[in-house]
Structure 1
Amino acid sequence: MLAAAAVAGLKILSHRYERTVTREQLLDPDARRDRTDLDDTLNYLLVGSDRRPGATGDDQRSDTVLVVHVPAGTKRAYLISIPRDLLVAIPPAPNGWAGGSDKINSAYEHGGGGEAGVRLLSATLTRLTGLRFDGAALIDFAGLRQVIDLLGGIRMCVDTEVRSIHTRTLFPVGCQQMDGARALDYVRQRYDLPGGDYDRQRHQQQLLRAMLDRAGETNLRRDPVRLDQLIRAVGASLTVDTNGVPLEELALALRDLPPDALTGVQVPSHPATIDEVSYVVLDGGGNGLFDAARDERMPDWAQANPRWITRL
């Protein structure tokens, strides 16, 4: 869900608004690509924290972890959702974390939260996948909610009735218009859904598509005040690391990527209980998914593994 702010933002931010975005070193040196070539394959890490009012930097976990894989030519993008409870090996961190096995969403916490937390998370993902990244974005909930509201809300199609564990709101089956608060509440649900966290991942991917669809439908160029508000809201919600590439150049490179070119991907895996703790465990190392992303074979992998593909 938080990926939406990053992708939508990179498509509309111009040089004038670069100063509204906070820039930090979000990628660990071992997870960073030496040089980004916008004509080559691109990999971006998008992270959203479940920060709550009063939470400290050491009391947070990453609520959303998503890898955006863009093959050379930027005509298609694969949104790879990483299960929040995936059991991984987390490397040591400068803050004293000695390293060890844990859920991947705890890497952010073990790193100390914030930018340092994303660095440890990026190192963990590179160790897991073999991918190195061209950039990363850390996105906050409040900013994303405002972006959706400034877009005039989005249309989401609920496939299974569910009641929010946070607000007790009931989401009935059917397509419906949602404001920012309602949309974010819906895509954060995983309990009482048939697929649990896998359904949550799919709904987050659908949120991204819905935001991009809405941005395309809204003629913001004829409403400069609203456009200015939207760009500033997107910028304020992001902390980015573009590996030295100006945001304007990145936006130009991605401008021809239409919403219907997005493909949602879930990591082949299954739930498991280990020492009375619930985890998600990879199926056969991910069933070749990460090899396919590294070797430019994602279309073939997607065709051969329809169970793990979401058509957005």
Structure 2
Amino acid sequence: MRITGLSLAGLLVLGAGAAGWAYWHLNDNIGSVDINGALGDDRPAKALTAPSPGPADTAAPLPTGSLNLLVLGSDSRSGEENQELGGGEGGSARSDTAMVVHLPAGRTAATVVSIPRDTLVDRPACPLPDGESTRPVSGAMFNSAYEVGGPVCAVKTVEALTGVRMDHYLEIDFAGFARLVDALGGVTVTTDEDIDDDRSHLTLEAGTHHLDGTQALALARTRYDIGDGSDLGRIELQQRLVKALLEQIGRQNLLTSPTRLYEVADALTGSLTADTGLDSLGELTRFGRSLRGLSSADVTTVTMPVLPAPWDRNRVVADQPEAEELWASLR
């Protein structure tokens, strides 16, 4: 999120002609989905938000109220680049990674809650673009919501599971994540055990490694060669990557290199889909600037409490009342 806002803000300081073309190109990159229009008012209540006085040169005060975002990483099958990175064939996609990002009032801290893709949930009926709806299903895989109903159904399912209103939605696919890591010059991550995963095609000895985009994506997808082979081990690796990326950003000053700045912004926006409240450069920039006080040390990563499903040991269910207590703390 800081990458988005700070990178796009920096582009505005480039020459007028170059900045104009860059603004049009990057703005055109961003995919858009109207979550609010599709779901209407039958949703959890919005959190109260309030603006704060911004710098003297700010046209409008920056928001500082609490906010919840659903951030998805999708294994999109569309495009040759995604297929080469493991997206497979066909036009479908699943939400391989799902994180609820909670920003409390003041936005100087963040809590990132991962939802295991293998969680069994009650998937609600979701509206489809053609006016029809998906059927409600009890005991469905969490990541099936995106597969059957796209971002709208993913948001509705998360809200039904958590009781927390998702104020915004952001999605990035395989290719976009890999390009982003490369544009940042790679990412340094420490692993506690050897990895030799035939499915993600990643081999690493335990220790600290500087990974390029393809390797970082493989690490984010690694599952079967770590821990007990469940999704929980993969989530731990994904959370480490989130922290490592924030630290990598903190070590750089993208504003001193217009070329690098543009590469980062282009890599991100080229594979980004956002709700209609964040689907433009102006909105993303303003949102990013509202997080200017946030650093990696201020980010807490947790996983929704789960336990093995009694009827299917390869799946998990929310562990109550702990899961409900976690979601209640974000409302």
TM-score after normalising by structure 2: 0.78
Are positions 1:105 and 2:143 aligned together?
yes
Are positions 1:88 and 2:121 aligned together?
yes
> Aligned partner of 2:156: which letter?
A
| CA deviation profile, 1:258-293 (whole Å, cap 9, x unmatched) | 11101001111112252x573211111415111111
> Aligned partner of 2:195: which letter?
V
Show the counterpart of 1:133: 166
Show the counterpart of 1:283: 319
Counterpart pick for 2:189 among 135, 156, 161: 156
| CA deviation profile, 1:288-311 (whole Å, cap 9, x unmatched) | 1111111xxxxxxxxxxxxxxxxx
CA shift at 1:21, angstroms? 2.0
- State the secondary structure of the residue aligned to 2:153: helix
> Aligned partner of 2:240: which letter?
Q
| CA deviation profile, 1:75-130 (whole Å, cap 9, x unmatched) | 1100100010111111112344211120111111121xxxxx11111111111111
Are positions 1:25 and 2:34 aligned together?
yes
State whether residues 69 and 101 of structure 2, in contact with CA within 8 Å, keep that contact through their aligned partners in structure 1: yes
Show the counterpart of 2:232: 198
| CA deviation profile, 1:129-187 (whole Å, cap 9, x unmatched) | 11112210111110110111111111010112121232543111001110010111012
Are positions 1:66 and 2:103 aligned together?
no
Show the counterpart of 2:252: 218
Show the counterpart of 1:13: 8
CA shift at 1:216, angstroms? 1.8
RMSD: 2.3
State whether residues 115 and 303 of structure 2, in contact with CA within 8 Å, keep that contact through their aligned partners in structure 1: yes
Counterpart pick for 1:39 among 60, 64, 85: 64
Show the counterpart of 1:232: 266
CA shift at 1:249, angstroms? 1.6
1 CA distance for matches of 2:178 and 2:310? 34
State whether residues 175 and 271 of structure 2, in contact with CA within 8 Å, keep that contact through their aligned partners in structure 1: yes
Counterpart pick for 2:297 among 260, 273, 282: 260
| CA deviation profile, 1:216-266 (whole Å, cap 9, x unmatched) | 212322221111111111111211115368222211111111111010011
State whether residues 154 and 177 of structure 1, in contact with CA within 8 Å, keep that contact through their aligned partners in structure 2: yes
Structure exhibiting the larger radius of gyration computed from Cα positions: 2
State whether residues 8 and 211 of structure 1, in contact with CA within 8 Å, keep that contact through their aligned partners in structure 2: no
> Aligned partner of 1:280: which letter?
V
Are positions 1:120 and 2:115 aligned together?
no
Show the counterpart of 2:222: 189
1 CA distance for matches of 2:188 and 2:2? 18
> Which consecutive residues of structure 2, in runs of 5 or more, have no partner in the other structure?
13-22, 51-62, 78-82
Number of equivalences: 282
- State the secondary structure of the residue aligned to 1:205: helix
Query: Runs ≥4 in structure 1, deviation > 6 angstroms?
Result: none
2 CA distance for matches of 1:190 and 1:62? 15
- State the secondary structure of the residue aligned to 2:175: helix
| CA deviation profile, 1:40-98 (whole Å, cap 9, x unmatched) | 111000012112336444x3321011100011011110010001011111111234421
> Aligned partner of 1:282: which letter?
A
Residue identity over aligned pairs, in percent, reads 35
> Aligned partner of 2:75: which letter?
D
State whether residues 84 and 104 of structure 1, in contact with CA within 8 Å, keep that contact through their aligned partners in structure 2: yes
TM-score after normalising by structure 1: 0.83
Distance 1:188 1:89, change over 3 A: same
> Which consecutive residues of structure 1, in runs of 5 or more, have no partner in the other structure?
1-5, 112-116, 295-312
> Aligned partner of 1:42: which letter?
L
- State the secondary structure of the residue aligned to 2:112: strand
2 CA distance for matches of 1:198 and 1:236? 29
